[in-house]
């Protein structure tokens, strides 16, 4: 997945909801980086990425489809930000593991997979931050 996309600076017209979600994502990632339990670390990192994606959707707008069925954030992100389609597919592939963790199946996450997701989430947040703020986090 690429981490060298160039984004224009959109900060001046950025909705407060996008900035708020991005701040929550950054706080959540910081918590994930400090968490010792792998399952919680994984879930916190996933949630941080989810909030970052929601921030980008809040900034760029949701594609309108009359009477459409609910879609995941990752599906919507692919539509609104095609340059992040690979990231959306990656995080969508982590959704089942996150659901397992939420259901209490903690063995679904190894320390390495939690560390990997924290790293990937940090890269993703950096891209989203540059897209929204025009700067890295």
- The pLDDT tens digits of the residues spanning 64-99 come to 555 566 678 999 999 899 999 999 999 999 999 999
CA dihedral for 83, 13, 15, 123, sign (positive or negative): positive
**pLDDT at position 7:** 43
Q: Is residue 98 part of a domain?
A: yes
What is the rounded average pLDDT of the residues 3-28? 72
Instruction: Tell me if residue 8 falls in helix, strand or coil.
Output: coil
- The pLDDT tens digits of the residues spanning 50-70 come to 999 999 999 887 655 555 666
**pLDDT at position 14:** 67
> What is the distance between the alpha carbons of residues 35 and 60, in angstroms, rounded to a whole number?
32
Number of domains in the chain: 1
Provide the domain limits for residue 78.
14-61+71-133
Q: Is residue 7 part of a domain?
A: no
pLDDT(102) > 50? yes
Q: pLDDT category, 11, cuts 50, 70, 90?
A: very low
Q: b/e per residue, 35-60, with b = 16+ CB within 10 A?
A: beebbbbbbbbbbbbbbbbbbbbbbb
Q: Is residue 5 part of a domain?
A: no
CATH of the domain at 107: 1.20.120
Question: What does pTM read for this prediction?
Answer: 0.83
Q: Is residue 4 part of a domain?
A: no
What is the rounded average pLDDT of the residues 96-113? 92
Specify the residue for token string 């010792």: 36
CB proximity list for 24: less than 8 A, separation 6 or greater: 51
Q: Is residue 127 part of a domain?
A: yes
CA dihedral for 56, 58, 59, 65, sign (positive or negative): positive
Comparing 126 with 8, which gets the higher pLDDT?
126
CA dihedral for 50, 55, 59, 65, sign (positive or negative): positive
């Amino acid at each position: 997945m690429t981490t060298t996309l160039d984004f224009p600076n959109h900060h001046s017209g950025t909705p407060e909801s996008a900035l708020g979600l991005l701040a929550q994502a950054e706080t959540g990632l910081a918590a994930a980086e400090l968490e010792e339990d792998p399952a919680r670390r994984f879930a916190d990192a996933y949630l941080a990425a989810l909030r970052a994606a929601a921030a980008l959707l809040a900034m760029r707008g949701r594609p309108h489809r009359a009477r459409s069925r609910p879609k995941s954030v990752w599906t919507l992100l692919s539509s609104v930000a095609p340059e992040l389609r690979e990231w959306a597919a990656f995080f969508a592939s982590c959704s089942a593991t996150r659901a397992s963790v939420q259901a209490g199946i903690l063995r679904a996450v190894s320390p390495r997979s939690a560390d990997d997701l924290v790293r990937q989430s940090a890269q993703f947040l950096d891209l989203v931050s540059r897209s929204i703020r025009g700067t890295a986090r």
